[in-house]
Chain A
Amino acid sequence: MPKDTSIKRVLIIGSGPIVIGQACEFDYSGSQAARSMKEEGIEVVLINSNPATIMTDPVTADKVYLLPLEPASIEKILSENDIDVVLPTMGGQTALNLAITCEEMGIWEEHGVRMVGVDVAAINVTENRQEFRELMDEIGIPMAPQKTAKSFLEGKEVAQEFGFPLCIRASFTLGGAGASLVHTAPEFDALLTRGLHQSPIHEVMIDKALMGWKEFELELLRDANDNVIIICSIENFDPMGIHTGDSITVAPAMTLSDTAYQRMRDMAIKMMRSIGDFAGGCNVQFAVSPDEAEDIIAIEINPRVSRSSALASKATGYPIAKIASKLAIGYTLDELDNQITKNTSAYFEPTLDYVIVKIPRWNFNKFQDSDRRLGLQMKSVGEAMGIGRCFQEALQKACQSLEINRNGLGADGKELTDQDQILHSLANASWNRLFHIYDGLKMGIPFKTVQQATRIDPWFLKQIEELIALERKIEKHSLDSLSKDLLYEAKQKGYADRQIAHLLRCLESEVYSKRADMGIKRVYKLVDTCAAEFEAKTPYYYSTFELENESIPSNNKKIVVLGSGPNRIGQGIEFDYCCVHGVLAAKECGYETIMINCNPETVSTDFDISDKLYFEPVFWEHIYDIILHENPVGVIVQLGGQTALKLAEKLSRYGIKVMGTTYESLDLAEDRGSFSTLLKENGIPYPDFGVVENAEQAVTLSKDLGFPLLVRPSYVLGGQKMKIVINEQELEHHVVDILQDMPNNQILLDHFLDGAIEAEADAICDGKDVYIIGVMQHIEPAGIHSGDSYAVLPPYNLGDFVMTQIEDHTKKIAIELGTVGLINIQFAIKDEKVYVIEANPRASRTVPFIAKSYQEPYVNYATKVMLGEAKVKDFDFKPVKKGYAIKIPVFSFDKFPEVNKELGPEMKSTGEAIFFIDNLRDPMFTKIYSERNLYLSR
């Protein structure tokens, strides 16, 4: 069936602000869907309240509504646009729920809008666990023993019948909110109550826990002709009991026989067909008994594009969201081309000749006293994916991508050696269990004990054991005596030069030179969906150590854009937005663009954004090798957050050009001593401060500066480890705390301007001229991290005198620092005097927000300036200024019920929304303003 030509205009619903359980992956799917529709000549209208997304950008959609995701917004859009169909499957559960609400209210019908890609009955049946279970029973698909409870009493009865452990899940929630694993009766009572409260229909499902069962996921696509294909099989390294979003996952499935896999495939297809008649994507989760029976039971089915489909798209190269959108508008799979090979069919099942490992990224340190055990409720904030030619290589690369100050899995001197701690960690999984499995095996804890405690499939554990065996062999050598075979083996298994250097007790650079001398070089292989069976046209690469290199460098002038690695609090989707714009701007200027990143949730790692994509850790060794291979003009580090920025020093040291602001200038801004000298010389006020290296110095300095003090390590983002202290005891404690986490880091003490107002400015500078793109004023008083504060663009009550100071300071600092590109400056205003708190010569979190509010492509402009292709004066700035835009921080505290919502200098929000108001009489603004002091703590 060809495309439905009656569709002229589509509405795509986004997923709103980033929260745990629903993140950046939906920007990826929404953007892909929008591009896919535009390709078909269909006009795309998009709604999302999240301004930090690429999908809400004019490069993606024809018309964007930055409105709250609620029925009133939908009504407004439908009355202003002649929409034919709505595609609600690209924005996670939020979009689906909104679509259902609108359906129930009759909004779609009233405006003659058809829902495509899903049907409401399908959503209802998959979200109502009782109905779903009955349906599965009907079609003969086994599930775990389970019952529904609508009251506390009913719940208690079920518990008595099943016995512990049990799982409780709330109906109609996302990311496993309200789901818990329960081992004891008192625990059960509390969690039952919580689950009943969290479910919008006050219903919980109680399952018998299938602890230790193996967990798998399949990603499906179905077309209107009822053809179904499986895009990817994903195996969870962590067995049942840990939410799949919090599990380490591997693709393709590693330990499934064909008989078991085909049974699972048949079940998945049957399930998808049973829940309704729709064309689009679907995700099905299964558990397999770890015994001879190999029983397979269904866990759940999601009739939409999910986090796993984003991962599956990156893992296989098959663009699920793009194809799912085309299926939704009538195409059948056999009519579409494989997007990677361009000359074979889209109706086929990708095959992989590599392995991917995804490891979640957690931010528990942001939530003091949070329960760090992993369970049925998702707690991670991001993820990194490693691609390797074997599991071990992919695992090491994923570990190198995590940005947790590790050089990979083990071999970096950070192993834990306390046996009891390790044993506890094995049985109570948290963010570091993988590392402790390694540590345990390395210190000699028997394999059986590790397997029984973790219940992880022995094949995976053996892979780790094999790594340790290899390390033992290497450790016997010195750099000189290490054979080529052994070094090659270590490189093939994903070891970084740094890890090998640790094992050989030498320098990273020495290992690098040795392998260069021996001719052990990285080669690049293609992700092509077909294991090289067909020639592929898509430049999506990963590195490995093998014979043949497939990435042939061109002679074009090239630019490398460094991505920001896994999302975490303080460094998220905004930087993906910036990277995409950076790539597109460089393309406009005639550069061949090369993107490097390891975050599977991003748009920037979509294979059709840059000219060449290297899906690699944003880790020195990988980047350096790509640069040597490609020989670019330079590297853009300003767009990838602190992850990319902190590589500037080494790039510069190795003689690689950092585009725009030089490393020296970047360093000048970070180095508090020289920066304040600069401020002093220019007559710009700043809070009294000092730099210390230990607690003793800190106490001495505090006598000069006076309390309260703002204490923080240098070179961090998102206010990591930043705290306000009010006495010597607190100061000492915090300094020791920082140094334990970040040894040898300098610590900054600022006199804290109590009761000050905060504001920040973003600007583009070409070294000579400065253009301030926007100034935002925070609503909460100083002390709350800028990422966590409500902020208003433009300022709502700063007088001309203050504004003049802000503008003057911004311009002066930008010039004095030698900024070429973007700069963000944070101010504290007290008694009409504007103090500079810090300057960040890079894209900041607020740049996308300002760009969306003023409807101008600032990152595009800044990139052209960085590249030296344009000057500030070349741009005709025409910001659309109307009323105010409020930035609303969004938190995920509901995932940590034990944590009190307190805000301070360390950022805790996971996402943000934009809200436009016409004037300051707006009830939303007045409410926020009146509550501005509510959550401030230290």
Chain B
Amino acid sequence: MSEIPFFVPMEKTKALLVLEDGASFEGSAAGAVGTAFGEIAFNTGMTGYQEIFTDPSYFGQILLMTPSHIGNYGVHDEEVESDGLKISGLVCKKFSDIFSRPSGSSSLGDLFEKQGMVGISDVDTRAIVRHIRDKGAMNAIISSKDHSVDSLLARLKEVPSMEGLELSSKVCTKEAYNFGDENAELRIAVMDYGVKRNILRCLSDRGAFLKVFPMDASLEEIRSWKPDGIMLSNGPGDPAAMSAQVTEVKSFVESGIPVFGICLGHQILSQALGLKTYKMHNGHRGVNHPVQNLLTGRCEVTSQNHGFVVDMEAVKNNADVELTHVHLNDNTVAGIRLKGKPVFSVQYHPESSAGPNDSRYLFDEFITNVRNNKV
């Protein structure tokens, strides 16, 4: 068990959080001292902060975690969804300097400092959630260096809005790479828009050999690898700003190859099918989102992280598309499939991590589609 450092009461560095609309909150610096900006979003997950912070879909976001304590069980080398922290900054109530998990490799604070991640703690996170819940998504800036609200607000004006922003290219792989057992019976091409590692694990665990392609990989490059199925990954940003990917996905769909889309992948697929997406007033971010599978009537508790969503009316008006999953809280689109083709996608994260494992069956269904199509 790693030794727990003796508690030394530290004088905390002051930090400020300023929102685009001028609201400001004072707290203490958590992690590295510096300045960070991005779109502020809140996640209500009570466990899994490390998986969440390393999820590339959070790229460009200042993430507010609603549970009272963050960092209690430190960080673990294997509980990462990418090569490092992907959020832009953290807002939380209590940031734990110590951790008690024997298998933990370091404290969250050490990881933050090592990777230069800026955070603010000891703020009224609940008040901030209520503020952005009512006012909607907006940009924010955290600083433990600059303590002037005016100056921070001025700097914030420079930050572009998330709407219309393409971010996948900032987090996806630059070079294609292989994942899993080369001798596996199925070959799946993963389009990396900011893929979470657990998607790769879930597929390879089910007997697939993967090649993960950068988002700008050409159709020829992908086809020449002879995939049996295509996985459209999750990722950050506005799907409406990814027309090249949409066009590419159109040709996947036309080719008759099984396709499975998750989150951003689901949105890109939807666009390829002619469905509209739009930015939500407040996204869904957490590990407790209720989804009903309309094909079975069964419900699943899902992990979600999206600020854009596919338009429900568009789905209902499209004769080729079937609504398969619906979000029970607000009746938004949670999953669709293309009639008569092995093509489907979900808005949420069946690979969870963080979150419940209720929806893993979707990977089984995809693998079945891929296998059937191969035969």
Contacts and interface: CB of A to CB of B under 8 A. Distances in A.
Given A257-B101, A447-B6, A550-B130, 12 more contacts: A254-B69, A257-B47, A261-B47, A291-B1, A347-B328, A348-B289, A349-B288, A351-B45, A352-B68, A354-B68, A390-B93, A533-B286
Interface string A222-257: 000111011001000000000000000000111111
Contact of A345 (B6, B25, B98, B290): B290
Interface string B93-106: 11010111111000
Contacts of A254: 69, 72
Contacts of A531: 42, 44, 66-67, 126, 129
A462 B94 contact: no
B332 interface: no
B354 interface: yes
A459 B288 contact: no
Contacts of B93: 353, 389-390
Interface string B340-360: 000000000000111111000
Contact of B69 (A390, A457, A458): A390
Nearest to B51: A258
Contact of B76 (A257, A334, A469, A534): A257
Interface of A: 225-227, 229-230, 233, 252-259, 261-262, 265-266, 290-292, 294, 332-334, 344-345, 347-355, 389-391, 447, 457-459, 462, 465-466, 469-470, 473, 525, 530-535, 546-548, 550
Nearest to A291: B102
Interface stretch (B31-39, B152-160, B295-303): B295-303
B76 A348 contact: no
B73 A349 contact: no
24 contacts: A230-B301, A255-B72, A256-B47, A257-B79, A258-B287, A259-B79, A261-B48, A262-B355, A292-B1, A292-B103, A294-B103, A332-B299, A334-B290, A345-B329, A347-B290, A348-B289, A348-B328, A349-B287, A351-B45, A390-B93, A462-B4, A531-B66, A532-B129, A533-B286
Interface in B65-81: 66-69, 72-73, 76, 79
A798 to B, nearest CB: 59
A347 B98 CA distance: 35
A491 to B, nearest CB: 13
Contact of B7 (A352, A355, A466, A534): A466
B124 interface: yes
Contact of B4 (A225, A458, A530): A458
Contacts of B357: 262, 265-266
A225 B293 CA distance: 12
A548 B301 contact: no
A732 to B, nearest CB: 48
Contacts of B76: 257, 259
Contacts of B48: 257-258, 261
Most chain B CB within a 10 A radius of its CB, from A350, A458, A531, A548? A531
Nearest to B74: A257
B127 interface: yes
Given A257-B76, A348-B328, A350-B288, A229 B6 contact: no
A681 B33 CA distance: 77
Contacts of A352: 46, 67-68
B105 to A, nearest CB: 11
Contact of A533 (B100, B102, B129): B129
A466 B9 contact: yes
B96 A389 contact: no
A344 B7 contact: no
The 5 closest A-B pairs by CB, nearest first: A258-B48, A548-B127, A531-B66, A345-B328, A547-B124
Contact of B301 (A233, A349, A458): A349
A533 B44 contact: yes
A258 B355 contact: yes
B133 interface: yes
A229 B287 CA distance: 12
A492 B123 CA distance: 11
Given A344-B329, A389-B68, A265 B103 contact: no
Given A255-B72, A532-B126, A533-B44, A292 B67 contact: no
